[in-house]
Amino acid sequence: MAKREVRTDLWVAQQLDECEIRYDPQGSSIKEIDEALRSASKRGTGNVGYPEYVSVIGDFVLVIEDKADLDRHMKLTASGVLDMGRKAVTDYAVNGAYYYAKHIAQNSTFRKVFAIGVSGDAKHHVITPLWVDDREGYKVLPDIESFISFTEQNIGEYYTRYVLEEETDF
């Protein structure tokens, strides 16, 4: 299992590199985000949390968690909301990404935060972005095929179209 997870990590990094999205693995080099993650352990210990990748693009933050297995993509409760139980947060890509993104939104001055859960591999994968606010809220956005919408050139339009739900030129 661990070997498959590493392959997924490397595939996600390759996708970010191809889109020229700068990122930090296992945390953030931005002091404020790094400090916000110091108490973000997904296991609830109050220790440091380590999302797979964190990227800052302008005033947007991307928090990415990945899992090798497609069946570990996202877990919802019976009422259809993200399960935020400890096991779901540690075992599912979208749930973990949301957990870290919410922690950053609540514990830093960054307010434009996307959580992105990735599962699978280059051939069979699912990439689900969420918009995260600092009040426990989130908005599930349409699945994407690559990270091209989150490049410096595209992220503003993506935000306008999918988060604000306003018409754009493209």
> Residue 2 to residues 6, 7, 9, 15, 69: CA-CA distances in angstroms?
6, 9, 10, 20, 11
In a domain, 168, yes or no: no
Beta-strand pair 112-120/60-67: parallel
Q: What is the pTM of this model?
A: 0.92
In a domain, 169, yes or no: no
Q: Where in the sequence is the domain holding 92, given as residue range(s)?
A: 2-163
| Spatial contact of 79 and 34, defined as CB atoms under 8 Å apart | no
In a domain, 170, yes or no: no
In a domain, 60, yes or no: yes
* Overall domain count for the chain: 1
pLDDT score at 40: 79
pLDDT tens-digit readout, 5-53: 889 999 999 999 999 999 999 989 999 999 889 877 777 776 677 999 9
